[in-house]
Amino acid sequence: MVLNKKTKRRNQRIVDLARKGMNSRDIAKRVKISQTLVSRMLRRYYAKNKKTPFHIVRKQERTKRILKLRKKGVSIRKIAETLGIGAHTAWMTVKQRNR
């Protein structure tokens, strides 16, 4: 199966969004395709390239975002609300990085 340029670009965009930490539901909404297609595509991509698992990359990206916001002086509660994670998770991330 040969993919055209448009499809390749879309697939790369999906992978980039996944690496940035977006979940398959949000990616599907943004790219306007079904969530099943997104997760299937990501699974294939990971199997083919044997790169770092997405959940680890997501965690690293999330950590970077948390620390960046914290440096600006944003409260942990606001960070947690913005990223859709628990306040305790955000607090522990900051605490671990400040050791």
Q: Indicate the number of domains in the chain.
A: 2
Say how many C-beta atoms besides its own lie within 10 A of residue 34's C-beta.
11
How high is the pLDDT of residue 34?
Answer: 92
d(CA 73, CA 75): 6
The residue type found at 13 is R
Q: What string of pLDDT tens digits covers the 99 residues of the chain? A: 577 888 888 888 888 888 777 888 889 999 999 999 888 888 777 666 666 666 676 777 888 889 999 999 999 999 888 888 888 988 888 888 776
pTM for the model stands at 0.52
Q: Residues 61, 92: one domain?
A: yes
* Whole-number percent of the chain with pLDDT over 90: 14
Neighbouring residues of 31: CB distance < 8 A, sequence distance ≥ 6 = 10, 13, 14, 17, 38
Range of the domain at 46: 5-51
pLDDT mean across residues, the chain = 82
Q: What is the chain's percent helix, strand, coil content, to nearest 5? A: 75, 0, 25
């680890």: which residue's tokens?
56
Q: Residues 46, 59: one domain?
A: no
How high is the pLDDT of residue 20?
Answer: 78
d(CA 19, CA 69): 19
Q: Residues 41, 68: one domain?
A: no
How high is the pLDDT of residue 23?
Answer: 82
How high is the pLDDT of residue 72?
Answer: 93
